[in-house]
Structure 1
C-alpha cells in the first residue's frame, strides 16, 4: 500500500475530551476523529457504519488509532467489513472489557467482544492498573487479535485523567510500529 496514510482516531464511550491524548493528536498532528452519532449510548452497528464511511472516504490507506471502546469497535468492524485492506495498521490503546458485568450493563450490545484475528498489523498498549480492563484480559484480547502487546506499566485507563498530555511516548510507539510494518 503506497501513499500517505490518513490517521483515523476512534475514541471510546463519551468521546475523548480536550485533555485526552487523542484530542491532542488531532490538534497537533492533524489526525481525523471519526465522529459518532451518539457518544453516550453507543450502538455497535451505528459505530461500525461510521467507521466504514470514514475508511471509504479516505483517499488512500488508513491507520486506526483506537482508545477503549474504540478498540472493541475495530475488532467488530474488521470482522464484517470488506474494506479492511485499506487499513495499514491499528494502534489499540486501553481496551475496555465490555464482557465485564458492570460495563456490559452500562454499554449494552457490545458483548461478546469479537476475538478473531485482525486482518492487518496491530499494536496494543495497555496499563497494568486499568480500572476498565484487567491486564490479563487486555493481553488475551491482544493475543486473539494477533496484536503485539506493550505493557505501559501503571497509568490507569490511559486517558485525559492519566496526565499523558500529547503522549509523545505513544506517538513514538505508533511511528516505530508503522516503520516496522512498511510495505
Structure 2
C-alpha cells in the first residue's frame, strides 16, 4: 500500500506534537495525513480522546493507517471496539506509556487504565525503547503479544520524541514504508 492509497491519521500523545516532533513533521509532509485533534492536549479524558479517534476513522474516505505516539497509542487501542469494522488496515504505535504501572503519572493519564489486552483486528507494529521512562520494555513486549503486534526494539531511544533526539526520525519513516509495503 502507498500513502496515496490511504488516509493516514496521526494521533499524538499528551501535550500534542510540538514543532519538530516527528509526528508534526510527517503530518506536514504526507499529503494524505492529518492530525487527530483533541479538545485538551494537557488534560486528556479517555472518552473524549477515544471518541476523536473514532470520529476521524469514520470520516476517512479510504483505508486508514493509524500512526500514534504515547498516550495516542492508548487512545487508539481503547477506541478499537468502536471503530468501523475493516476501515483501519494497519497501525504504527510508538512509545506506549504504561498507564497502569508507571509511577508519578497525572491522574488524567491514569484514567486511561486498564490497558486493553484484546488482539487487534488489523496488523500493527509497536515500537518500544529499552530506556523509555514511561514504559518498561518488558511491559511493551507483553502488550505487543496480547495485541498481536510486531514488536520493534528501538534500543536506547528514550520516549522517541524531541527530548530524546527524535526530530525527523528517518528510521521510523523507513519502518513505516516497509510495514505499508506488506499491507
Q: TM-score when scaled to structure 2?
A: 0.93
- Which digits, 9 at most, give the CA deviation of each residue in 1:119-170, with x for residues without a partner? 1000011111000100101111111111000101011000111222211110
- Which digits, 9 at most, give the CA deviation of each residue in 1:72-116, with x for residues without a partner? 1111001x2141410010000000000024226352321111111
Q: Return the offset for 1:69.
A: 0.6
Partners of 1:82 and 1:129 in 2: CA distance: 32
Partners of 1:104 and 1:135 in 2: CA distance: 21
Partners of 1:32 and 1:139 in 2: CA distance: 28
Partners of 1:84 and 1:162 in 2: CA distance: 36
| Equivalent position of 1:98 in the other structure | 99
* C-alpha RMSD over aligned residues: 1.7
Contact 2:5 2:62 in 1 (8 A): yes
| Equivalent position of 1:122 in the other structure | 124
Equivalent residues in 2 for 1:30-179, closer than 5 Å: 30=31, 31-78=33-80, 80-100=81-101, 101-103=103-105, 105=107, 107-179=109-181
Contact 2:7 2:63 in 1 (8 A): yes
**How many aligned residue pairs are there?**
180
Contact 1:98 1:104 in 2 (8 A): no
The runs of at least 4 aligned residues of structure 1 exceeding 3 Å deviation read none
2:42 alignment partner, SS class: coil
Contact 2:73 2:96 in 1 (8 A): yes
Contact 1:97 1:133 in 2 (8 A): yes
Contact 2:100 2:110 in 1 (8 A): no
Q: Return the offset for 1:63.
A: 0.3
1:173 alignment partner, SS class: helix
| Equivalent position of 1:17 in the other structure | 18
Partners of 2:113 and 2:170 in 1: CA distance: 32
